[in-house]
Amino acid sequence: MSECPVFKSADIIGKKWTIALLQEIALNGKKGFNIIFKRMGKISPKILAKRLKELEDEGVIKREYIIKEKPIRAIYILTEKGNELLKIIQSLKIWNVKYSNVPIDCQNRECVNCELYQTY
């Protein structure tokens, strides 16, 4: 089963916080761990660090270090693979809104500011 592309994809994005985290990195990843943590609200620092590591190991994000600043800090950037995955997530959002009874247009909203965000 672990070789199945569908199950592998589900393993990457199916974990709690992963989809919201990808969107947050796209919006604020260059501001670093602490900003991501503050904006995501209810995620624990331990889970955030774990999800970041998993996404980095999968090649979905990359961590870069800003050495021109003191103290040196890490930022997170979507890779090409991550940007493609984000497009798929956006398509899922559009699909869900289309077939949902909830009259919400979330295509242009930041999930962390959405009242439905806590369902992630």
Backbone φ and ψ of 50, nearest 5°: -65, -45
Using alpha carbons, list the distances in angstroms from residue 66 to 28, 69, 73: 15, 6, 5
Indicate whether 95 belongs to any domain.
no
**Is there a contact between 29 and 21 (Cβ–Cβ < 8 Å)?**
no
Query: Which pLDDT score is estimated for 37?
Result: 93
Domain hosting 74: range is 5-90+103-119
* Average pLDDT for 96-102: 74
Residue given tokens 């660090």 in the structure block: 49
- Look up the pTM and report it: 0.79
Indicate whether 38 belongs to any domain.
yes
CATH for 25: 1.10.10.10
Any idea which of 53-62, 71-80, 105-114 has the lowest mean pLDDT? 105-114
Indicate whether 27 belongs to any domain.
yes
Query: Which pLDDT score is estimated for 18?
Result: 95
Indicate whether 74 belongs to any domain.
yes
Indicate whether 98 belongs to any domain.
no
